[in-house]
């Protein structure tokens, strides 16, 4: 069950969950977050959201309508992306990780 905390201003914070990951999966998640200039928590949230969206879309359409492999499958994926609502780009990431020069 997700836990909800309250901020110092009295407003409720987003629900929090705790997940146990294998070391290799955690390393992959951290590398992806760094490549995307995101925090690990934010990267996990984005990936969970994408996975849930994909799962729900598959539940609605059924497995028979999934694109097939090969060039036809590639085209079907592109056509499906064209039907989706365009995603807006957000501003610059809030946290950037800069590498310090080595001495």
Which residue is it, tokens 């849930």? 52
- Better-predicted residue by pLDDT, 23 or 72: 23
Q: Does this model's pTM top 0.75?
A: no
| Alpha carbons 39 and 29: distance in angstroms, whole number | 10
Spatial CB neighbours of 48, under 8 Å, sequence gap ≥ 6: none
Q: What is the pLDDT of residues 31-87, one digit of tens each?
A: 999 999 999 999 999 999 999 999 998 888 865 544 455 566 777 777 777 666 666
Mean pLDDT of 87-97: 63
In the prediction, which pLDDT does 39 show? 94
Helix (H, G, I), strand (E, B) or coil at 6: strand
């Amino acid at each position: 069950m997700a836990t909800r905390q309250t901020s110092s201003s009295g407003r409720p914070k987003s629900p929090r969950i705790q997940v146990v990951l294998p070391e290799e999966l955690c390393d992959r998640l951290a590398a992806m977050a760094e490549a995307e200039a995101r925090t690990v928590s934010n990267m996990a949230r984005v990936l969970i959201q994408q996975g849930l969206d994909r799962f729900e879309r598959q539940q609605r359409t059924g497995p028979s309508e999934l694109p097939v492999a090969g060039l036809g499958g590639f085209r079907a994926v592109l056509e499906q992306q064209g039907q989706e609502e365009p995603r807006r780009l957000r501003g610059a990431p809030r946290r950037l990780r800069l590498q310090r020069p080595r001495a």
